[in-house]
Structure 1
Amino acid sequence: MKSLKFTLLLFSLILFGLGSPLRSSGAAPKREFYQLKIYHLQTKEQEQRLDTYLQQAYLPALHRAGIGKVGVFKPIASTDASAPAPTEQLVFVFIPCTSAEQYLKIDTDLEKDKQYQTAAQDYVNTAFDKPVYSRMEGVSMLAFTSMPSLHLPALKSGPAERVYELRSYESASEKLHANKVAQFNNGEIGIFKRLNFNTVFCGQVVSGSKMPNLMYLSAFENKADQEAHWKTFGADPEWAKMKAMPEYANNMQHMDVFLLHPATYSDI
Structure 2
Amino acid sequence: MKTIKLLSLLITIAMASCGNPNPETKETPETPESVEEGREFYQLKIYSFSSDAQVARVDNYLKNAFIPAVKKQGIDKVGVFKFRTNETDTIQKTYVLLPFESLEQFHELDSKLLEDDTYTATGSAYIDANYDNPPYDHIESILLQAFTDMPMMKVPNLDGPRSERIYELRSYESPTEKYYRNKVDMFNAGGEVTLFDRLEFNAVFYGEVLSGPKMPNLMYMTTHADMPTRDKNWEAFVDSPEWKELIAMPKYENNVNHADIWFLYPTEYSDY
TM over 0.5: yes
Distance 2:122 2:237 in 1: 45
Rounded Cα–Cα distance in structure 2 between residues aligned with 1:258 and 1:54: 21
- State the partner residue of 2:30: 20
Number of residue equivalences: 244
- Corresponding residue for residue 188 of structure 1: 192
| Deviates further, 229-238 or 118-127 | 118-127
The 3-state SS of whatever aligns with 1:94 is: strand
**Aligned equivalent of 1:38:** 46
Match of 1:254 in 2: 258
3-state DSSP of counterpart to 1:199: coil
Does residue 224 (structure 1) correspond to residue 231 (structure 2)? The answer is no
Aligned ranges for residues 1-268 of structure 1 at < 5 Å?
19-20=29-30, 30-78=38-86, 83-84=87-88, 86=90, 88-186=91-189, 187-268=191-272
For 1:131 and 1:176, how far apart are their aligned partners in 2?
Answer: 40
Answer with 156-165 or 210-219: which moved more: 156-165
Gaps spanning 5+ residues in structure 2: where?
1-27
Letter of the 2:207 counterpart: G
TM-score between the two structures when normalised by the length of structure 2 = 0.86
What code does the residue aligned with 1:30 have?
G
CA contact (8 A) 1:72 1:262 kept: yes
Question: For residues 142 and 23 of structure 1, do their structure 2 counterparts lie closer, same or farther at Cα, with a shift above 3 Å needed?
Answer: closer
**Residue 102 of structure 1: CA displacement?**
1.8
- Looking at structure 2, the residues matched to 248 and 173 of structure 1 have their Cα atoms a distance apart, in angstroms, of 13
Paired with 1:51 and 1:156, the residues of 2 have a C-alpha distance of: 23
| Secondary structure of the corresponding residue to residue 150 of structure 2 | coil
Q: Which has the larger radius of gyration?
A: 2
Q: Tell me the distance in 2 between the aligned counterparts of 1:85 and 1:35.
A: 23
Tell me the CA shift for residue 206 of structure 1. 0.4
TM-score normalised according to structure 1 size: 0.87
Paired with 1:245 and 1:135, the residues of 2 have a C-alpha distance of: 42
* Alpha carbons 1:22, 1:30 under 8 Å: kept: no
> Matched residues, percent identical?
42
Partner of 1:150, secondary structure, is: coil
In 1, Cα distance between equivalents of 2:61 and 2:130: 15
Cα deviations across residues 95-150 of structure 1 (Å, max 9, x unaligned)? 01122222122112202111111111111111111111111100000101111111
1:20 and 1:167 map into 2 onto residues whose CA distance is 33
Instruction: Report the Cα distance in structure 1 between the residues aligned to 2:116 and 2:129, rounded to whole angstroms.
Output: 19
Q: Could you list the runs of 5+ residues in structure 1 that have no partner in the other structure?
A: 1-17
Give how far 1:29 is off: 5.4
Letter matched to residue 115 of structure 1: T
Equivalent residues of 1:29, 1:148 under 8 A apart: no
